[in-house]
C-alpha cells in the first residue's frame, strides 16, 4: 500500500508542468502559515504534533517543486497556459544589489540571504534550512538535494541556523552510515559512531555499555549466539525471494523493476 507521501508524489509526477504547478500552489496555499514555522520553539510556543506534521509536509512539497525543475510557470492565472518562459534571471534591486529568485518560495533575495546550489538554482536561507530539516527528519529525503544533485552540508553550513546546523552535523555521521550500530540496551539505543568502535565491539558514548557489532547484542566472548527469530526470518526471505541490500544489508523485496542490485 502506498504511503500518503508516495500518493501525492505519484499524482504530481504524472501531471504536466502547468497542472502540477497549480496543484502545488493550492496545497501550499492551504498550508500557509505552517510551512515557515520552525520545530525549534520555546516552551511557551510549543507546536502541536499536527503543526509539526504540517510544517514538514509543506517543506517536502516545496522541495519537490524545486527538485522537479518545472518549465517555469508563474502563479498568475493568465500565465498557466504559457509555461515556456525561462526561469527569472537575477534582477537589480532598487538600491543597486542584485536580487535572486528562490526556486522554492519564488521570492526575491539579495546575495546575503540566498545560496546557489550545485544545479545552479538559488535557495533563500529559510528554504535552505527547510531542505536540510526535511532530510534530517525523513531519511527518504537524505542527502539534501536539488535536481538529484546533492547539496553539500559544509558548503551551506553558514546559511543554516546555528543551533540547527550543530544538530545536523551531529546527526550526519549516523545518516551517512549504511551499517549502523546502536547501543543494545533498549533504554538507551544511542547511535555509536566510528570513533567508539574497536574491532567487533562498540562502546556507547551515552551509557558506556559495550555492544557486539556483528550480532548487535551485549559484548560476549566466542561466537555470536544463534538468534532463532533471525533464522526464521532468513528462511522466510529465501522462500519469498527477498534479498539483502549489498549496501546496508537490510532485507528488501522486489516490487517493480529488474533484478539487478548495486
Report the percent of the chain where pLDDT is more than 90: 35
CB atoms within 10 A of CB 174: 15
- Position 95 scores a pLDDT of 58
Query: Which of 53-57, 203-207, 245-249 has maximum average pLDDT?
Result: 203-207
Given a cut of 90, is residue 239 above it in pLDDT? no
pLDDT, tens digit (0-9, with 9 covering 90-100), for 18-34: 667 767 776 766 655 44
When comparing pLDDT for 13 and 177, which is higher? 177
155 — pLDDT class (breaks 50, 70, 90): very high
pLDDT, tens digit (0-9, with 9 covering 90-100), for 194-222: 999 988 899 999 999 999 998 889 998 88
- Position 37 scores a pLDDT of 42
- Position 61 scores a pLDDT of 73
pLDDT, tens digit (0-9, with 9 covering 90-100), for 83-142: 333 444 556 555 566 889 999 998 998 888 989 999 999 999 999 999 999 999 998 899
10 — pLDDT class (breaks 50, 70, 90): confident
CA 179, distance to chain mean position in Å, is 19
96 to 103, 112, 117: CA distances (angstroms): 22, 14, 24
User: Are 99 and 91 contacting, i.e. CB atoms less than 8 angstroms apart?
Assistant: yes
Question: Cβ neighbours of residue 77 under 8 Å, at least 6 residues apart?
Answer: none
**Phi-psi category of residue 211: left, alpha or beta, with phi > 0 → left and psi -120 to 50 → alpha:** beta
Q: 196 preceded by cis ω (within 30°)?
A: no
Average pLDDT over residues 233-256: 66
- Position 254 scores a pLDDT of 59
Question: Cβ neighbours of residue 6 under 8 Å, at least 6 residues apart?
Answer: none
- Position 3 scores a pLDDT of 55
Amino acid at each position: 500500500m502506498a504511503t500518503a507521501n508516495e500518493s501525492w508524489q505519484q499524482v504530481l509526477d504524472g501531471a504536466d508542468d502547468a497542472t502540477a504547478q497549480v496543484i502545488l500552489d493550492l496545497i501550499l496555499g492551504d498550508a500557509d502559515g505552517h510551512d515557515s514555522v520552525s520545530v525549534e520553539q520555546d516552551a511557551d510556543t510549543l507546536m502541536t504534533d499536527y503543526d509539526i506534521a504540517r510544517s514538514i509536509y509543506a517543506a517536502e512539497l516545496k522541495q519537490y517543486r524545486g527538485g522537479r525543475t518545472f518549465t517555469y510557470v508563474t502563479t498568475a492565472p493568465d500565465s498557466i497556459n504559457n509555461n515556456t518562459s525561462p526561469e527569472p534571471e537575477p534582477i537589480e534591486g532598487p538600491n543597486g544589489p542584485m536580487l535572486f529568485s528562490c526556486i522554492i518560495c519564488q521570492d526575491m533575495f539579495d546575495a546575503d540571504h540566498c545560496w546557489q546550489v550545485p544545479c545552479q538554482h538559488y535557495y533563500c536561507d529559510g528554504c535552505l534550512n527547510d531542505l536540510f530539516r526535511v532530510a534530517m527528519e525523513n531519511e527518504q529525503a537524505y542527502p539534501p538535494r536539488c535536481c538529484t544533485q546533492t547539496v553539500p552540508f559544509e558548503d551551506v553550513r553558514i546559511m543554516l541556523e546555528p543551533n540547527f546546523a550543530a544538530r545536523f552535523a551531529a546527526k550526519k555521521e549516523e545518516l551517512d552510515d549504511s551499517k549502523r550500530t546502536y547501543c543494545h540496551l533498549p533504554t538507551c539505543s544511542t547511535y555509536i559512531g566510528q570513533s567508539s568502535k574497536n574491532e567487533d565491539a562498540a562502546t556507547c558514548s551515552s551509557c558506556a555499555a559495550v555492544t557486539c557489532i556483528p550480532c548487535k547484542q551485549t559484548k560476549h566472548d566466542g561466537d555470536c549466539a544463534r538468534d532463532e527469530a533471525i533464522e526464521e526470518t532468513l528462511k522466510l526471505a529465501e522462500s519469498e525471494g527477498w534479498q539483502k541490500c549489498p549496501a546496508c544489508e537490510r532485507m528488501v523485496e522486489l516490487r517493480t523493476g529488474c533484478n539487478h542490485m548495486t
